[in-house]
Structure 1
Amino acid sequence: MSTGMIIALIVIVAAVVVVAAALTLRARGPRGGGRDLKRRFGPEYDRTLARHDGDAKAAERELTERVERHGSLREQPLEPDRREQFTVRWTAAQEHFVDAPREAVAEADRLLAELAAVRGFPDGGHYEEQFAALSVHHAEHVHGYRRVHRVARVGAGGQDGDRADTEEMREALVEARALFDDLVGGTREDSAKPATRKQPTRGSHGTHLPWTFNRHQAKGS
């Protein structure tokens, strides 16, 4: 066998080994497998696992695909005036809940979709893709968006005519507030900038309006 043929065989074998290794690593997912995914996604890992009826491989495959699609996404900074506008609109939705809970929840759903798009996530018109991207970067609080989106759809008639009660809508709105705070809070670059406005006082149109009313105080369901 000539030297040229030997070299060609070595190259072919090496290429096959590299391809096989790459396919194996892809099948296993990120380094550390399930442990890394659990650490990254937190409660969202458990919810995904439940949706796949406990099939860990299927759940981890889905979460790995989310990371591959959206892990390199870079969040865009939020200008101070836009931050103020979103904050005022969210506070108004919270206050509007007392008289019109369904409309308030629907507005919160729209606000999260719009705010996420401004921060660089996929457009809110593609909810599933936007949610997947948010889950990669805001895993701890993304479930609030899922809840408020589901309740907003149910409140509008929903599948099979189901309707959420007032307490369910209130809880969804409260949980969604955590994601709103994450998104409106800014990037590390934003945090390094000097403050441009005064902090709101308790109960004002700011970021810390207390939510103490219960189902008996909110009108309608």
Structure 2
Amino acid sequence: MMRHLLTVADVMTKDVVTVAEDTPFKAVVATLAEHHISAVPVLGPYGGVAGVVSETDLLRKEEFQRRQRRPWWSRKARTKAAALTADRLMTTPAVTIKAECTLDEAARVLGERGITRLLVMAGDDLAGIVTRSDLLRAFLASDQEILARVRRDVVDRHLWDDPLAVHVDVLEGVVKLTGQVDKRSTVAFAEQLISAVDGVVAVRNELTWRFDDTTRATGATFY
């Protein structure tokens, strides 16, 4: 059985505020202010995502107007600074992610691209938007919820022959493992799986083992 992981669809904002390509500069600014957001997707005439306008894109105009004589500005930067509508202001193509992607996949894309948000797509349709703060919501799960996830996704899914031999406690998101398993290799494997459970902050692995299967010695090692 596959472990259940939170996906982008579980934490994203579904009611996405958008603007059209011909939305004027001031209307874009007003939209961001009204909805307390820092960026807005731009939709094309047929509903597809054309790009994203962020506060950074908008601030270029003020920077350009106050310091127009900046020879190192690229033509693209000057064009965006002089833009009057969303289609000229926006950054394109927009960075997107599929709704079924996991939170760690989304975090990886955000980190690699150095951005703070991703547009979430379901096929060709805009399904939502996910931000860094949305991804951190996984760590807001209660200790009881994390404990249930660990038991359901790891302990009870045949990782050990005797799940009752493994004791799991959670405090402030830190999972503590105690008990004894048959093989030493299971100890590291257990920690690896539990570390990947959504909401887990860290793992204190105090498991012991009966047989050391990580060495090439012919004799069994007992503890």
TM-score norm. by structure 1 comes to 0.23
| Higher Rg of the two aligned structures | 2
TM-score normalised by the chain length of structure 2: 0.23
Higher helix content, 1 or 2 = 1
Higher RCO (CA 8 Å, separation ≥ 6 residues): 1
- Name the structure with the higher strand share: 2
